[in-house]
Amino acid sequence: MPVAHVNGINLGYDDHGSGEPVVMITGTAAPGRIWRAHQVPALKAAGYRVVTVDNRGIPPTDLCEEGFTLDDMAADVAALITHLDAGPCRVVGFSLGGIIVQELLLARPDLVSQAVLIASCGRADALITAMSAADLALADSGITLPARYAAYVQALQNLSPDTLNDEEQLQDWLSVLELSPPSPAAVRGQLGLQLIGNRLPAYRRITVPCQVIGFRDDLIARPALVRELARHIPGAAYAEIPGCGHYGCLEKPDAVNEIITAFFTRN
């Protein structure tokens, strides 16, 4: 994996294919490789060069244990785009990655030609606030949940009822989640960054064309919050995919990929 020294840190990324670049930013505690299974192949097949990023706190990117902000993470993406001489380019953000991209669109709109915001929001409501506080409390407690228990909780939080009720699919998911539990202590700096104030008025200043995607069964970035975000970004398109939860990019990848590639072609 290449590592670029940008914005004062070492930032890990992967570079796939050739063509017009698409930079993909993932969510809390997730490595850039989560895009490899479905989104990278689809975008490469559509003729794009795909750059996936490991955010601060995800090795080989620096842990930055002294702490960091959303502005730092948006600046990381801006610096990487500049380092790769890729701007203006298309950028995709999921969950926390969507919020990072939204801040990038305000700070450096010159670097982005189109943006896709997946399962993102423009403010932390009561449930997101409670979830973030709980995650921080767990990280600071020093307690490590048993892998089997952590997998069960992740499944309930992030998968749709359709998947939870399909015993074969669910068992596959539980096996994967049990093998790769996130370490709250390792991503302590990322936890809580979704605790944003009401950024919706600021997002009315976004001028870059945006596609917003929500997942109907998402219990984290619930569709009402994602629709609210889309309404506040001038000209943003909104699409909602049924039958998937917060992990919709993995539960319904074909639907997600179709929306992304259609948006890129349309604008």
* Cβ within 8 Å of residue 18, ≥6 positions away: 49
User: Could you tell me what percent of the chain has a pLDDT over 70?
Assistant: 97
Residue 267's pLDDT is: 63
Give CA–CA dist 245/249, Å, rounded: 9
The set of residues, in sequence order, having a beta carbon less than 8 Å from that of 92 and lying 6+ positions away, is: 22, 23, 24, 25, 39, 101, 115, 116, 118, 260
Which pLDDT score, from 0 to 100, does residue 194 have? Answer: 87
1 or 88, which is more confident: 88
Contact (CB, 8 A) for 80 and 23: yes
134 pLDDT band, cuts 50/70/90, is: very high
d(CA 106, CA 110): 10
Provide the pLDDT for residue 266: 83
Please, which residues have CB within 8 angstroms of residue 27's CB and are 6 or more apart in sequence? Answer: 94, 95, 96, 97, 98, 119
For the segment 177-223, what is each residue's pLDDT rounded down to a tens digit? 988 766 666 688 898 898 999 999 999 999 999 999 999 999 999 99
**Which pLDDT score is estimated for 192?**
85
Whose structure tokens read 């993102």? 120
Section 155-159 average pLDDT: 97
Residues known to be catalytic: 95, 218, 246
State the pTM of this model. 0.96
pLDDT band at 144 (very low <50, low <70, confident <90, very high): confident
Please compute the mean of the pLDDT values over residues 154-162 and round it to a whole number.
97
Instruction: Give residue 186's pLDDT.
Output: 65
Q: What percent of the chain has pLDDT over 90?
A: 88
| pLDDT value for 61 | 95
Q: Can you give the pLDDT at residue 65?
A: 87
Tens-place pLDDT, residues 81-123: 999 999 999 999 999 999 999 999 999 999 999 999 999 999 9
Model pLDDT for residues 229-263, shown as the tens digit of each residue: 999 999 999 999 999 999 999 999 999 999 999 99
User: Which residues 6+ apart lie within 8 Å of 43 measured at CB?
Assistant: 17, 22, 50, 257, 260, 261
Give the model's pLDDT for residue 182. Answer: 66
Task: Write down all domains in the chain, each with its CATH number in brackets.
Answer: 3-124+197-266 (3.40.50.1820)
Q: What pLDDT does 187 receive?
A: 81
